[in-house]
Amino acid sequence: MQSITAVGDLRSLVESWRLADRTIAFVPTMGALHAGHQELVRVAKERADRVVVSVYVNPLQFGDGEDFDTYPRNVAEDAKALAGVGADVLWTPTEADMYPEGPEGAERITPGPIGDLWEGAERPGHFAGVLTVVKRLVDAVTPDYLVMGQKDAQQLWLVTTMLETQAPSLDVVAVPTVRDDDGVALSSRNAYLSADQRQVAQTIPRALDAAGTAGSPASAVETAKRVLQSEPLISLDYVALVDEDSFEELPPGSLARSGRMLIAVRVGSTRLIDNARLTFGQ
């Protein structure tokens, strides 16, 4: 596996692959790689001849008081995590490559109304930062496939929607959430949890499982809230059930047969999100 920093070097390599008629898959990350990222790379390798993995902690998607400065960064460990799973290039772009005009001067991509809901409401400006960096990363790599996880479901929907117009030939591949043995969705921020807090975090998949046994969208939301609120060390940000195509919230009394449940909570100072597809009336 090659390690590349300069965007010009990456583009030269990609051009050589194109001349050799190789297909390319791209996995964008912020580092602190874990088994969930490794699964993304494995799926990418199944789809394409060459796989590029980026590690870049994007300042535009962090708000005031968030963990940009303390976000885990260890490129050497990230390289070890990628060994043997099929990545051809680890690309670690600089801020000057991503934002030659400076992050504050970057023209941001507007995510639209869905970007102002749920995660967008809790983290104003977050999705504009995500879409802006994804577009710039994709422009540099020019992949055939963009491989992303379903754990960040709203982000995945917004990126897919943006790229349908900005890069219509690009195929976005969604990979199911990878979970630890205790059911907690893998996340780089899990490293912030103490042992006791990790036990508390197991309430999140339990809430999703309980909601999955409900007979209707409304009862599913109430069931999930009840499970989460039974744990006093959890602070609930939101529980929502959305239409998977439009990502609009299912209205009260909806007769929908399925939807995607979104959950965001805080365990101590750590914010965790999760989601699952639920079906009803079966």
User: Is 37 a known active-site residue?
Assistant: yes
Contact 54, 75 (CB under 8 A): no
| Distance in angstroms (rounded) separating the CA atoms of residues 228 and 212 | 14
Of the residues 37, 50, 126, 271, only one is catalytic, namely 37
Count Cβ atoms below 10 Å from residue 203 Cβ, excluding itself: 21
Residues 6+ apart with CB under 8 A from 151: 36, 177, 178, 185, 186, 187, 273, 274, 275
SS3 10: helix
DSSP 27-86: EEE-S---HHHHHHHHHHHHH-SEEEEEE---GGG--TTSSTTTS---HHHHHHHHTTTT
Provide the Cα torsion 180, 185, 188, 189; round to 10°.
-120
Give φ, ψ of 37 to 5 degrees.
Answer: -65, -40
Length of the chain, in residues = 282
Q: How many CB atoms lie within 10 A of CB 77?
A: 13
Residue numbers annotated as active site:
37
